[in-house]
Amino acid sequence: MKLVVVSAGLSVPSSTRLLADRLAAATDRHTPVDVQIVELRDLAVEIAHNFTSGFPGRALSAALEAVAGADGLIVVTPVFSASYSGLFKSFFDVLDQDALTGKPVLIAATGGSARHSLVLEHALRPLFAYLRAVVVPTAVYAASEDWGAEGLAERIDRAAGELGRLMEGMGSVRRAAAADATQDAPAAVDTDTAAAIAPRLIDGVVNSADRFTVVPFEQQLAALRP
């Protein structure tokens, strides 16, 4: 499975990138994944040009394709003015609006003060709900005082475990749907189905009743005839 990590850190070294790396490593310990890092700092100019020209540059296009093709995402932003950074938001503004539909996403943020921890709930979670992603329950915020303190490692491990189980579960549901689909009606897992079964996938509980089955129109019509 492919895990893409989007880091919006600006400095070098970056606490945002450090948190992103720790989350990716923890996810890989729970569920083996191929990790790809997308550093938004390196794409800032191309993102700006995309807004004015309507076309992504080569590096930005590759990053957008990687995100759209991922089995799961980890997204990490520094907190600016009590919200996500403008660079972070701009990247997801130029992403295709359907690219994250039904995709498992772990949200995280870094900041100088613990007072900004609610940015995860009042800014990031609504953004990815709007994009129809499936956001894992545990979000991770790291203030300056959290590094080296008790609690951060446990939150990272818990969130990574939830993401890993959700990625595995969604993959199983997609494979089951593909096996059940007819030749004339390709299988898909819609957003409502993904949202409904996500809690059970996170808990590791998936059964045949959770499969999304496509019923051909002719079969539906026949069922309505007297």
pLDDT at 211 (0 to 100): 46
pLDDT at 190 (0 to 100): 57
The span from the CA of 72 to the CA of 179, in Å, is 22
Rounded to two decimals, the pTM is: 0.80
172-217 tens-digit pLDDT? 776 666 666 555 554 455 555 555 556 656 565 544 444 445 556 5
Whether residue 74 contacts residue 2, with contact meaning beta carbons closer than 8 Å, is answered with no
144-163 tens-digit pLDDT? 999 988 899 999 999 999 99
99-124 tens-digit pLDDT? 999 999 999 999 998 889 999 999 99
The span from the CA of 92 to the CA of 131, in Å, is 9
53-74 tens-digit pLDDT? 999 999 999 999 999 999 999 9
pLDDT at 10 (0 to 100): 93
Task: Report the 10 Å Cβ neighbour count for 167.
Answer: 27
Of all residues in the chain, the percent with pLDDT exceeding 70 is 77
pLDDT at 179 (0 to 100): 65
Whether residue 139 contacts residue 131, with contact meaning beta carbons closer than 8 Å, is answered with no
pLDDT at 147 (0 to 100): 92
3-state helix, strand, coil in the chain (%, to 5): 55, 15, 30
pLDDT band with cut points at 50, 70 and 90 for residue 143 = very high
pLDDT at 209 (0 to 100): 45
